[in-house]
Amino acid sequence: MPIKNIPSNRKYVSLPPQIQDIDFEVYTDGFRIENETGFAVCTFKDNQNINNFCFKLQPHNSDFQAELAAIQYAANWAASNNYKINIYADSLSSIMALTSASFGSSFVISAKNDLSAVKGLVGLFWVKAHVGIQGNEWADQQAKSAISTGVGLDIPAPRSYLRRKLKDYILHKWAIYWNNYDSASGIRVRSFWIRLAPPF
Q: Which pLDDT score, from 0 to 100, does residue 153 have?
A: 93
Name the band, by pLDDT with cuts 50, 70 and 90, for residue 7: low
Pair 111, 184 in one domain:
no
Average pLDDT of the segment spanning 28-49:
96
Q: Which pLDDT score, from 0 to 100, does residue 10 have?
A: 56
Pair 104, 80 in one domain:
yes
Pair 17, 85 in one domain:
yes
Pair 66, 20 in one domain:
yes
**Whether pLDDT at 175 is above 70:** no
Q: How far apart are CA 84 and CA 195, in angstroms?
A: 63
What would you report as the CA-atom Rg of the chain, rounded to the nearest whole angstrom?
22
The contacts of residue 200 (CB under 8 Å, 6+ apart) are 168, 172
Q: What percentage of residues in the chain have a pLDDT greater than 70?
A: 72
DSSP secondary structure letter of residue 132: S
Q: How far apart are CA 175 and CA 197, in angstroms?
A: 6
Q: Would 173 be classed as within a structural domain?
A: yes
Q: Which pLDDT score, from 0 to 100, does residue 66 have?
A: 97
103: containing domain: 8-156
pLDDT (tens digit per residue) in 183-197: 656 555 556 555 555
DSSP secondary structure letter of residue 74: H
Stated pTM of the model: 0.77
Pair 45, 142 in one domain:
yes
Q: How far apart are CA 11 and CA 104, in angstroms?
A: 11
**Whether pLDDT at 162 is above 70:** no
- Number of structural domains in the chain: 2
Q: How far apart are CA 101 and CA 92, in angstroms?
A: 16
What backbone phi and psi angles, to 5 degrees, belong to 119? -60, 135
